[in-house]
Structure 1
Amino acid sequence: MLKRKSFILAAIFCLLSSLIVTSPVMGKGPAGNAALDNQLKSIAKKTYRYFEDFTDPKTGLTYDEVRLGNGKVAEAKHTSPTNIGMYLISTVTADKMGIISKKEAVSRIQTTLNTLEKLEKWNGLYYNWYYTDGTLKTDWGQFISQVDNGWLSAGLIVVSEAYDELEGQAGKLANAMNYEPLYDPEVGQFRGGYYVDRGELTGHHYGMLYTEPRVASYIAIGKGDVPSDHWWKMFRTLPPEWDWQAQIPTGTTVEYDGVPVFEGHYQYKGIKFVPSWGGSMFEGLMPGLVLKEKELGTKALGLNNQRHVQIQIAYAKEKGYPAWGFSPSATPDGYSEFAATPAGTSGYKDDGTVTSHATFLALEYAPKEAYENIKALKRLGTYGKYGFYDSVNVISGDIAKAYLALDQGMIMGSIANYLFDGLIRDYFHSSEIGRNPEELLRKEEFSIR
C-alpha cells in the first residue's frame, strides 16, 4: 500500500512538473536572462493590443497602419495578405503566451478564416489590398503579389498545425493557393506578381535567394506547385561579371541536384556574408520566423542570418549611432526603405533611421545585444501604448508615431520563437508543406564559413 501511495505521489509530482515546464506563460529564452524574458512578455502584451484594437471584429482583418499625432488617431482601414498572415501568427503567439485564452484565439482566427473564404481571389491567391470590411480595394490596382501571398500561406499553415479545430479550414485555404501561374520555368524563378486588370505578369523576377520572397518559394516547392530545382536557380550573389553591384563577389560554383550554383560572398569589416538586395534586416531575417534556417541551415541561411545581425550592429557602431536596426519602416510623413547599406547588393539608404522590428528579428542570434538595444530604443522615446513606435531617426530624434501590422507581427513572432525555442517554426515545419523541402535548407553550404 505504501509503495502504491509513493508511486501515485511520484506520478502526481511528475505531472505537475511537466505542466510547469511546458506551460506557455512560463516560456524562457535560451539566454537565461530573466530581465529580458520579462521585458519581452510585457512588450508582447502591449504589441498584441494593436491587433485587439485595430482588427475589424466582423471580418477579422487588421488595419494596415495606425498613426498617432496631435491627439488624433489616423487609421488605415485596408489590409494585405501579409498583414493577415502576421495577424494569424500574432494571435497564435498571444494564446501561447497567455495574453488571450485559447478560446478567444480560435474565435478570432475563425472569423478571419471565414472572411478569407469569401474574399475575391485569383487562382486561390489573394489580391494585395482589401478594405477591412472585406471588399476589394481596386483604386490601387488589382495586383497579385508573390511575396505577400507567401506570408498569408505561412500564417495559414501555422494555424492549421496550432489548432486541430481549424486544421481543415486553414489547410484547405493554404492548399488552394496556386503559385504555379507566377513561376517562369524558363528562368527557374518567380515573377514578382501578376496584374489582373492588365492581364500581365511583372517584368521582373525575384532572382535573389537572400530576400523575403524565399518564403513563398519554399512553400510553393513544399506544395508541389513548382519544382525543387527552383531553389538552386536563385542567385546567392549575382554573377561576378555583373560589375555594377556593390562588391564583386568571391566564391566558387557548386552543383546541387544537378544545378550549378555560384556560391559567392561579400565582406564587411572582415565578416563574410551573402548579401540581400538592399541590406535590410527583414529581407534577410523575416523568413526565419517560419523557416528552420537557424536549426537546419547551419552552414548556409542560418549562418548568414547570424552574419547579417553582426553587420547591422557593427555598421551602427561605425556610424556612432546610439541604437541599431535598419529595415524598411514608417517615417514621420510616410514609409521608406532603410538598411545597413553595405549588406546589400544594391544597398538601400541610411539616414540614421532605426526601426524596432529589426531588433526583435535579431533576438535569437544576439539576445544580449538585442536587450541593450531595446533599452536604448526606450531611452529614445519610442515606446508607447501599442509597444514600440515604428521608427526613430537617431540623428534628428524624429519619431514616426506609427504602428504597422506587418512590423507588429514580426515583433510578436520573433518573441514567440525566442521564448519558446522556435515555436512558430515548429508549427510550420510540422506540416507536410513545411517538411517536404527541409533537405534544401540542410544540404547547402555558403562560402562564408
Structure 2
Amino acid sequence: MKNNYLLLLAICLIICTVSVSFAQNTATQRPKKLTDDELLELVQKQTFRYFWDFGHPVSGMARERSNVAFEYGGEVVTTGGTGFGLMAIIIAAERKWITREQAAERVLKIVNFLWKADSFHGVFPHWLNGETGKVIRFSQKDDGGDLVETSFLFQGLICARQYFTADTPTETQLRNKILWMWEGVEWNWHTQGGQNVLYWHWSPNNGWSMNHQIRGWNECLITYVLAASSPKFSIEPNVYHQGWTASTHFRNEREFYGIKLPLGFDYGGPLFFSHYSFLGLDPRGLKDNYADYWQQNLNHTLINRAHCLENPKKYKGYGKNSWGLTASDSHVGYAAHSPAEDLGVITPTAALSAFPYTPEYSMEALKHFYFDLGDKLWSEYGFIDAFSEHHNWYAKSHLAIDQGPIIVMIENHRTGLIWKLFMSSPDVKRGLDKLGFTYTGKVESNKAQKK
C-alpha cells in the first residue's frame, strides 16, 4: 500500500511538473511567422498578462514591478500603473482576449478596493498595500496624496466609465463609484491655498513640506487637464498659464539633430514625457497657445531616435532597429535614460509606445526586439523592462508604468480606442476648453517620419 502511495505521489509530481513547464512554455513561446498585425496583437496580448495574471489577487490593482527589489514588498501596488492597467483591460475586452463580463468584474474589483483605500482630499498615494489599502510611503515624507499618480489613475478610470455603459448591475455600479470618486478629488486643494500652480504632494503627517511644484515640460500635462476638468474642485485657468508653463525648461524652440523641439529640456528628456499624458489625451490636432502637441511628441521621438543613430558614446547595439531612451531599470539601478543621460540602455517601451508617432521606425524596432533579440528579451509578460548589449545586461524585471503604455499606445496606433474614450468625456472636453485648447482628432502632417 505504501509503495502504491509513493508511486501515485511520484506520478502526480511528474504531471504537475510537466503542467507547469507546459504553461511556462506556452506563455513564453515565440512564433516566428507573423504578419505585422499579428505581431502587434501578440505583443499587446502577451504584455496584458502583466496586469491580468499578475494583478494583485486581493485588490486587482497593478503591482509596481514583477521583481522584489529596492526594498519593495510583494504587496506594493501602484496607482498610476493601475490607471494604465485599466486601459489595458478595456483593450483586452474589446479584442476579446477576455469577455466583457470578466473585464467589468475586474474593474469593479479595483474600484471597490479604491473606494475603501487610503486617500487624502480624494487624492490617492503613489503606492498602496494591495491587500489592506493602506498607504505605503514612496519616500520619507511622501506618505500622502500624489496628484500626478492620481491623474494617471483617473485617466484610466474615466476611460472605463466611458466604455462600460451597459445597463447591468456590475457596469452601473462601477460607473457610479468612479463618478463619485472623480467628483471627490480636490484638485484645487493642491494649489496650497490658492496659488497659481499645482503641488505634487500633500500629507497629513508632513503637510506641504515636500514643496514640489508641478511645472512643465514633463509627463504631467494630464494633471492640469484633469484638474481643469473636475466637476466640483476645478482649478482656474491661471493655475495652468502661470504655473505649468512658467519654468526655465518649458519653451525650447531649438533644433537637435536638425529637428525642432517646441517644448522641454534640450534633446527632449526621456520618452515617457510623450507617453504618460497621452495614453488618453489625444495629441492629434491638439493645440493651445504653447504648442501643437502632436508635433511636440513626434519631434521629441525623432530626436531620441536620431541620438541613438548618432550614438555619440559608441554603445554596442544602438542603431536604426534598436533605439529608445526612457526611464527604466538599468545595470546601475533605475535611471531616467535620455540623450542627456545615456547609459547605453535601450528600453523597449520607448520605441513601442511611440507607435502612433513613428509607426515605421517603431515597427523596425519591434521586429528587431522580437525576431533578433527575442531569446533574451521576450518573456511571459512581453518584453523585459530594458537591456544593454554594450554591458551585456538584460533586466529580469517588468514595471507597470513601462508595460502599460506599450499596450495602450499600440492600440491607439491601430484603432484610436483609448483616445476616443477619454476624449469623449464631457468633463474632459470642458476642461480642455477652459484651458484654451483646440482639438480636431486629425494629424495635419507626419512628414517628419520620412526624415
Q: Above 0.5 in TM-score? A: yes
2:179 alignment partner AA: G
Deviation at 1:393, TM superposition (A): 1.4
Partner of 1:365: 357
1:282 alignment partner AA: F
Partner of 2:212: 204
Q: Assess, with a 3 A threshold, how the Cα gap between structure 1 residues 331 and 339 changes in structure 2: closer, same or farther.
A: same
Which of the residues 125, 132, 148 maps onto 1:127? 125
Q: Compare 283-292 and 360-369 and name the one that shifted more.
A: 283-292
Mapped to 1, the partners of 2:282 and 2:212 lie a distance apart of: 28
Deviation at 1:137, TM superposition (A): 3.9
Q: Assess, with a 3 A threshold, how the Cα gap between structure 1 residues 192 and 235 changes in structure 2: closer, same or farther.
A: closer
Q: Compare 350-359 and 166-175 and name the one that shifted more.
A: 166-175
Mapped to 2, the partners of 1:430 and 1:237 lie a distance apart of: 29
Residue 268 (str. 1) matches residue 256 (str. 2): yes
Q: Assess, with a 3 A threshold, how the Cα gap between structure 1 residues 138 and 106 changes in structure 2: closer, same or farther.
A: closer
Deviation at 1:75, TM superposition (A): 7.1
Q: Assess, with a 3 A threshold, how the Cα gap between structure 1 residues 190 and 68 changes in structure 2: closer, same or farther.
A: closer
CA contact (8 A) 1:144 1:195 kept: yes
Partner of 2:48: 48
Structure 2 gap ranges (5+): 1-33, 166-170, 441-447
CA contact (8 A) 2:188 2:194 kept: no
Deviation at 1:312, TM superposition (A): 1.1
Deviation at 1:443, TM superposition (A): 8.0
Q: Assess, with a 3 A threshold, how the Cα gap between structure 1 residues 263 and 162 changes in structure 2: closer, same or farther.
A: same
Deviation at 1:130, TM superposition (A): 1.0
Say how many residue pairs are matched. Answer: 378
Partner of 1:15: none
Partner of 1:38: 38
CA contact (8 A) 1:195 1:202 kept: no
Q: What is the CA RMSD across the aligned residues, in angstroms?
A: 2.6
Query: SS in structure 1 opposite 2:329?
Result: strand
Residue 218 (str. 1) matches residue 216 (str. 2): no
Deviation at 1:437, TM superposition (A): 2.9
Q: Assess, with a 3 A threshold, how the Cα gap between structure 1 residues 139 and 201 changes in structure 2: closer, same or farther.
A: closer
Sequence identity of aligned pairs in percent? 22
Q: Assess, with a 3 A threshold, how the Cα gap between structure 1 residues 235 and 135 changes in structure 2: closer, same or farther.
A: closer
Mapped to 1, the partners of 2:403 and 2:136 lie a distance apart of: 26
Deviation at 1:142, TM superposition (A): 1.2
Residues 28-62 of structure 1 deviation map (CA, whole Å, 9 limit, x = unaligned): xxxxxx93321110011111111122112332122
Partner of 1:65: 65
Structure 1 gap ranges (5+): 1-33, 240-244, 246-261, 342-348
Residues 138-164 of structure 1 deviation map (CA, whole Å, 9 limit, x = unaligned): 454513212101111111111110002
Q: Assess, with a 3 A threshold, how the Cα gap between structure 1 residues 271 and 235 changes in structure 2: closer, same or farther.
A: farther
Query: SS in structure 2 opposite 1:296?
Result: coil
2:146 alignment partner AA: S
Mapped to 2, the partners of 1:44 and 1:374 lie a distance apart of: 12
CA contact (8 A) 2:201 2:210 kept: yes
Residue 286 (str. 1) matches residue 241 (str. 2): no
Q: Assess, with a 3 A threshold, how the Cα gap between structure 1 residues 128 and 117 changes in structure 2: closer, same or farther.
A: same
Mapped to 2, the partners of 1:396 and 1:236 lie a distance apart of: 39
Partner of 1:152: 153
Query: SS in structure 1 opposite 2:390?
Result: coil
Q: Assess, with a 3 A threshold, how the Cα gap between structure 1 residues 274 and 64 changes in structure 2: closer, same or farther.
A: same
Residues 356-412 of structure 1 deviation map (CA, whole Å, 9 limit, x = unaligned): 111122101111100111122232331111101000114223111211111111111
Partner of 1:30: none
Mapped to 2, the partners of 1:41 and 1:200 lie a distance apart of: 45
Q: Assess, with a 3 A threshold, how the Cα gap between structure 1 residues 315 and 185 changes in structure 2: closer, same or farther.
A: farther
Partner of 2:80: 82
Mapped to 2, the partners of 1:293 and 1:230 lie a distance apart of: 21
Mapped to 2, the partners of 1:296 and 1:55 lie a distance apart of: 33
Mapped to 2, the partners of 1:443 and 1:161 lie a distance apart of: 19
Query: SS in structure 2 opposite 1:79?
Result: strand
Deviation at 1:238, TM superposition (A): 4.3
Structure with the higher strand share, 1 or 2: 1
Query: SS in structure 1 opposite 2:104?
Result: helix
Mapped to 1, the partners of 2:274 and 2:193 lie a distance apart of: 25
Partner of 1:397: 392
Partner of 1:161: 162
Partner of 1:303: 295
CA contact (8 A) 2:68 2:74 kept: no
Mapped to 2, the partners of 1:152 and 1:443 lie a distance apart of: 23
- Which aligned pairs between 1:105-124 and structure 2 lie closer than 5 A? 105-124=103-122
Residues 295-346 of structure 1 deviation map (CA, whole Å, 9 limit, x = unaligned): 32396111111101110111100006131111110225632211122xxxxx
Residues 285-304 of structure 1 deviation map (CA, whole Å, 9 limit, x = unaligned): 32111112223239611111
Query: SS in structure 2 opposite 1:371?
Result: helix
Deviation at 1:201, TM superposition (A): 4.5
Partner of 2:16: none
Partner of 2:241: 232
Deviation at 1:214, TM superposition (A): 1.1
Residues 245-294 of structure 1 deviation map (CA, whole Å, 9 limit, x = unaligned): 7xxxxxxxxxxxxxxxx965222022111343570100233211111222
Deviation at 1:228, TM superposition (A): 2.2
Q: Compare 435-444 and 196-205 and name the one that shifted more.
A: 435-444
Mapped to 1, the partners of 2:439 and 2:359 lie a distance apart of: 27
CA contact (8 A) 1:389 1:402 kept: yes
CA contact (8 A) 1:93 1:416 kept: yes
Q: Assess, with a 3 A threshold, how the Cα gap between structure 1 residues 137 and 146 changes in structure 2: closer, same or farther.
A: closer
CA contact (8 A) 1:356 1:390 kept: yes
Mapped to 1, the partners of 2:246 and 2:275 lie a distance apart of: 17
With structure 2 as the length reference, what TM-score do the two structures score?
A: 0.78
Q: Compare 34-43 and 262-271 and name the one that shifted more.
A: 262-271
CA contact (8 A) 1:68 1:401 kept: no
CA contact (8 A) 2:344 2:390 kept: yes
Mapped to 1, the partners of 2:259 and 2:153 lie a distance apart of: 34
Mapped to 2, the partners of 1:235 and 1:270 lie a distance apart of: 27
Mapped to 1, the partners of 2:431 and 2:389 lie a distance apart of: 41
Mapped to 1, the partners of 2:396 and 2:337 lie a distance apart of: 17
Partner of 2:346: 354
